Amino acid sequence: MLKVLIPTMMLFPTIWLTSPKWLWTTTTAHSLLIASASLTWLKWTSEAGWAFSNMYLATDPLSTPLLVLTCWLLPLMILASQNHINPEPVGRQRSYITLLALLQTFLIMAFGATEIIMFYIMFEATLIPTLIIITRWGNQAERLNAGTYFLFYTLAGSLPLLVALLLLQQSTGTLSMLVLQYSQPLQLSSWGHMAWWAGCLVAFLVKMPLYGVHLWLPKAHVEAPVAGSMVLAAVLLKLGGYGMMRMMVTLDPLSKELAYPFIILALWGIIMTGSICLRQTDLKSLIAYSSVSHMGLVAGGVLIQTPWGFSGAIILMIAHGLASSALFCLANTAYERTHSRTMMLARGLQMIFPLTAVWWLAANLANLALPPLPNLMGELMIITTLFNWSPWTILLTGLGALITASYSLYMFLMSQRGPTPNHIMGLQPFHTREHLLMTLHLIPIILLMTKPELMWGWCY
């Protein structure tokens, strides 16, 4: 654990002491080395689950894929931001990368936490750098509103969580995940207990987000700069899913009945947000709503509490993290050239950027869950487990899969196919950096097809 955490902390001196000329080179190389070191976490040495532990942090098959995803994303964020941050003064460039590295540190500690209060503190701590990134480096005036929605939605959900956790600490005497997984099921029956159950989960449902409390997401994703959008879509949403999976251990047996409305809301959200995607004119907004749709499926999978549901949820989280981040990078390449997110304005790009059209196709195929990519595998497992719970869900999930395919294809056809309008005939060619960024997103998805057991969680 420390062999990744200490180099991550050492990123801060690297950022502030490197000469301006070599700032981006060194931070990219340093963070890629950290990402390579994080792959050692995939060697699960113990059969009992928890490995690489010290007094406060440990990894287990649930947190490992998310930790590796987090570490992989930092160099990708740095690569993506390099172009639009470069014109700023060096001090501000350093601050920007510092915020990204700070976010990374908090996320590693959040996913690695063994004590739920530590997870909670890191969960809240990730809000600060993200808020600063959105409100300081966002491009439109709406970023302030977006930051407000982002901050207060999450805080409103997490205050009940704090109370619930303190209550849990008082009744069980511990909040260590290692101990709680073996504790006796709690006697939960009264209305107060139901409120406690809801308090434990609301924060994570807001973070996921669940349809109904999802309004912060399109705003935050759209107004954030590309690195902010990437980290939000790829990792921060997964904090919610991860938190839910950890809390589910202690929330039985109430979850059998109480999860019902949330599962239905999640499933309904898949269809509603998918339909909204078909009506979007703003490219980033479309990708943001598609994130809500996929996370609705993950929420359904987690709330079902079956082994397949959990495995499907983890697989879908990792695959969606990479695919969604790839789409945001592509949207940013279009934005940097045309300074507009309107899809109508940047269409027919295949004629002028043929190789990039391949990346667009691959990312959209991943988003629409094309077999044999892990996106489909996760979705199939969740759909199957939901069908087992209630056959009627197949109507919602099947329709949702159909709508997902429609809006992904719509995004592809809208941006790539058709005649290229004259006002964008003279755009800058694609940079090597941008091609590298896309390959670093897509190659892991393809490689994960060959060894999916890395993502199966506890059930492996």
The residue ranges that bind other proteins (CB under 8 A) are 21-22, 24-25, 28-29, 32-33, 35-36, 39-40, 42-44, 47, 72, 75, 79, 82-84, 86-87, 336, 338, 340, 345, 351, 419, 421-429, 431-434, 436, 439-440, 443-444, 447, 451, 453-454, 460
- Min CB(33)–other proteins separation in Å: 6
Reported for 137-145, long-range contacts at CB under 8 A and 24+ positions apart, including other chains, are 137/85, 137/96, 137/224, 137/225, 137/228, 138/223, 138/224, 138/225, 138/228, 139/223, 139/225, 140/223, 142/219, 142/222, 142/223, 143/223, 143/224, 145/219, 145/223
- Min CB(42)–other proteins separation in Å: 6
- Min CB(70)–other proteins separation in Å: 14
- Nearer to other proteins among residue 344 and residue 394 (C-beta): 344
Query: Which of 410, 432, 430 has the alpha carbon at shortest distance from 352?
Result: 430
Across-strand partners of 176? 115
What are the C-alpha distances in Å from 129 to residues 18, 44, 365, 440? Answer: 22, 31, 32, 24
- Nearer to other proteins among residue 187 and residue 428 (C-beta): 428
Residue 401 CA to chain centroid, in angstroms? 20
Question: Residue 281: what residue type?
Answer: T
Question: Alpha-carbon distance 460 to 457, whole Å?
Answer: 6
- Min CB(259)–other proteins separation in Å: 29
- Min CB(450)–other proteins separation in Å: 8
Torsion of CA 415, 226, 244, 442, to 10 degrees: 60
- Min CB(87)–other proteins separation in Å: 3
Query: Which of 402, 407, 365, 406 has the alpha carbon at shortest distance from 383?
Result: 402
